[in-house]
Structure 1
């Protein structure tokens, strides 16, 4: 992720922190739980794309799924920033570990 992305995440974090009305620990827990809500919206969009609810039929498009996935990513990034001001570094380090173990040539695609 580039600096502009993390700068925007920092601004969103600040905006949420300034609007907070609960004790800090509760705000942090609720921000993390917000991920479950967003993932549920992805599932709802996929169900809507595939028409799996016969009562409702096809209610969403793949663009809706993409938008909801983006909401999950943003929400996770803000939650990570809530836990640590070094969110960008934490993410970059973790992504490198995932890439190292997944793309080292020994996985299923090798």
Structure 2
């Protein structure tokens, strides 16, 4: 009885250790245009389907090279309420006031994908 239990635990441990680590995208977010003010690096786990919340103060945004990020004006990363979405890739946007659709201080969530 002990041998099958040990084999089962070994199989579970082997499976858990064999899982690949999450592919992470970094998004650089600043509260002022031209990468000014308070800036933070926000990580996103590719393939997670999660919606990363932002506080609605972003004026400059830059995803890592090799990733495309979709920003939303709501924290649920959906357009069901009629709000728009906005896609960015490296080099991002140093001045969201110049982006069509009123994106300065408006992004409340985002998701990223590998390109």
The interval holding the TM-score normalised by the smaller chain is under 0.3
Q: Name the structure where helix makes up a greater proportion of residues.
A: 1
Q: Name the structure where strand makes up a greater proportion of residues.
A: 2
Kindly name which structure, 1 or 2, has the bigger radius of gyration based on alpha carbons.
Answer: 2
* TM-score scaled by length of structure 2: 0.19
